[in-house]
Amino acid sequence: MSFRATPAFSSGIKKPKKPAAFKRSSSGSNPYSALARRKPISRSSTKPEEPDEDFFGERLDDLGLVRALAEDLTLRDVPQAMLFVQRRMWSVLPEQRTGMNSTRIAEVLNFRTNLPPVVTVSHVQALLNSPTVVEREIADLVRRGAVRKIVVGGRGHLGEILILVREMQAIIERSMIDTELKRKFVALLGEHPTALKISSSRLAPGEIQQLMQAGFLTSATPSWTTSDAFSKPGEGSRGTMTSLNSISKAASGSLAAVGGEGAVHAAGGSGGGAKTLSTQAEYSLSLPTTGPFLKLLANARAHFMSLLSKSKYREAPESLLLQRWDGGVAADDEASAARRSRGEFAGILPGKTRKWKLFYGVSFDWILAECVGAGLVEVFNTGSVGRGIRAL
């Protein structure tokens, strides 16, 4: 008889046993079975990880500059280049999923239609091979009356625009001015093909008022300022006797030290004391809605340069810059349609991008040539990722 006893047999309390269905298999020891189990970390989906757009922060290979942007070999002269620029200024309006209602689409189309068919001189120079040859050809075409050059004051090189004479005559014919004035104005432009301004003696005051209201004439800004009267030693400006030579000999604090009595009026101001010179007023040639065109061009240039400045060295492949200009719009292919059907992000609609909201669908090729002609960027061959664009 054994006197051996254990607490389990002597105690009246028994532990419940787990059913066999809840037992873990003990075959094969798992070294990670004793570790505490944790829930996976939830990542926020509001800010997706951006791809490395600068290609690991390295500069692009430079195999030489691109001399001419135009790939069309039929462009041999300035008129052909002007028509080529006008044709590729706008992107085609998407037929589906535009992101714009009918009112906005009408605004875009009306804005495009109302702009004058003009091109900048710098744009034509960027398309053709030699800017010097292009400038001589433009001067020859202007003298022969085939092309009209219009300079908008206060805009620098941005305000030098070209228009074919036949297109300018068509704009005049569609205007609301009198029929007799239309013929007179066209004849006056034909007599002076290189003139940038028209004297008031060639038109009646009522005719000048009609042309200014229609947008064909603007008040000419004088090419000199009141500061010119004090900046040329030994000579006056516009008949004045004021110069640095006489001012420097005057006593400090005296009236002669500031040009003498009536200096402002003699320099072209409204002060009293001197008689004004009898000169004919001049009016600068212009075109209707030229202001919106130049404003669109200036804003598009600024936005293009801001997109290029996002890269580390202010240079990027042309394909990448094209995506930035388009704004990451949704592609019209089967893969994007499948993502949209699954409820996934497949790109934004064109009407929500800055290209269409602010610039009415200006094409990438057009604004690139404008920036190249203005000396803001240069295009070079990389040999690996196509053409590269670098800010200057």
> For residue range 245-271, what is the model confidence (pLDDT) as tens digits?
555 555 554 555 555 544 544 444 444
Please tell me the distance from the alpha carbon of residue 336 to that of residue 342, in angstroms, as a whole number. Answer: 10
Please tell me the distance from the alpha carbon of residue 238 to that of residue 140, in angstroms, as a whole number. Answer: 32
- Contact predicate 49/43, CB 8 Å: no
Residue 301 has pLDDT above 90, yes or no: yes
The model's pLDDT over 308-363, given as tens digits with 9 standing for 90+, comes to 998 888 999 998 899 899 887 655 556 555 655 665 545 678 888 899 999 999 99
Please tell me the distance from the alpha carbon of residue 95 to that of residue 92, in angstroms, as a whole number. Answer: 9
**pLDDT confidence bin for 368, thresholds 50/70/90:** very high
* Cβ-based neighbours of 7, under 8 Å, separated by 6 or more: none
The model's pLDDT over 375-388, given as tens digits with 9 standing for 90+, comes to 899 999 888 888 89
pLDDT for position 20: 52
- Among residues 229, 369, 248, 242, the alpha carbon closest in space to that of 304 is found at 369
Residue 173 has pLDDT above 90, yes or no: yes
Q: What is the largest CA-CA distance in the chain?
A: 148
Output the six-digit token pair for 302.
Answer: 């600024």
Burial class (CB in 10 A: 0-12, 13-18, 19+), 365: middle
Output the six-digit token pair for 245.
Answer: 């030579």
Residue 272 has pLDDT above 50, yes or no: no
pLDDT for position 146: 94
Better pLDDT: 24 or 291: 291
Residue 167 has pLDDT above 60, yes or no: yes
Residue 147 has pLDDT above 80, yes or no: yes
Please tell me the distance from the alpha carbon of residue 162 to that of residue 157, in angstroms, as a whole number. Answer: 12
- Among residues 290, 275, 31, 264, the alpha carbon closest in space to that of 154 is found at 290
Please tell me the distance from the alpha carbon of residue 119 to that of residue 147, in angstroms, as a whole number. Answer: 11
Residue 184 has pLDDT above 70, yes or no: yes
pLDDT for position 334: 61
State pTM to two decimals: 0.69
Please tell me the distance from the alpha carbon of residue 358 to that of residue 107, in angstroms, as a whole number. Answer: 12
Please tell me the distance from the alpha carbon of residue 326 to that of residue 152, in angstroms, as a whole number. Answer: 30
Please give the average per-residue pLDDT across 210-239, as a whole number.
Answer: 59
**pLDDT confidence bin for 33, thresholds 50/70/90:** low
Better pLDDT: 246 or 131: 131
Please tell me the distance from the alpha carbon of residue 62 to that of residue 380, in angstroms, as a whole number. Answer: 6
Output the six-digit token pair for 123.
Answer: 């744009």
Dihedral pair phi/psi, residue 47, rounded to 5°: -120, 90
pLDDT for position 152: 82
Better pLDDT: 354 or 21: 354
**pLDDT confidence bin for 17, thresholds 50/70/90:** low
pLDDT for position 276: 37
pLDDT for position 136: 92
Output the six-digit token pair for 115.
Answer: 């702009």
Q: Which residues pair with 97 in a beta bridge?
A: none
- Average pLDDT of the chain to the nearest whole number: 75
Residue 183 has pLDDT above 80, yes or no: yes
Residue 231 has pLDDT above 50, yes or no: no
pLDDT for position 97: 75
pLDDT for position 380: 92
Burial class (CB in 10 A: 0-12, 13-18, 19+), 127: buried
Please tell me the distance from the alpha carbon of residue 69 to that of residue 64, in angstroms, as a whole number. Answer: 14
The model's pLDDT over 37-78, given as tens digits with 9 standing for 90+, comes to 555 544 444 444 344 455 546 788 888 888 777 766 677 889
pLDDT for position 98: 81
Please give the average per-residue pLDDT across 123-130, as a whole number.
Answer: 86
Please tell me the distance from the alpha carbon of residue 218 to that of residue 112, in angstroms, as a whole number. Answer: 23
pLDDT for position 22: 47
Better pLDDT: 108 or 6: 108
Residue 364 has pLDDT above 50, yes or no: yes
| Residue 250 C-alpha from the chain's centroid | 51
| Residue 284 C-alpha from the chain's centroid | 26
pLDDT for position 90: 95
pLDDT for position 153: 72
The model's pLDDT over 76-107, given as tens digits with 9 standing for 90+, comes to 889 999 999 999 999 998 887 788 899 999 99
What is the strand order of the sheet 377-381 is part of? 315-317, 387-391, 377-381
**pLDDT confidence bin for 232, thresholds 50/70/90:** very low
Question: Where are the domains positioned within the chain?
Answer: 78-175+288-391, 226-270
Output the six-digit token pair for 114.
Answer: 């109302």
Helix (H) or strand (E) holding 377: strand 377-381
Please tell me the distance from the alpha carbon of residue 319 to that of residue 388, in angstroms, as a whole number. Answer: 9
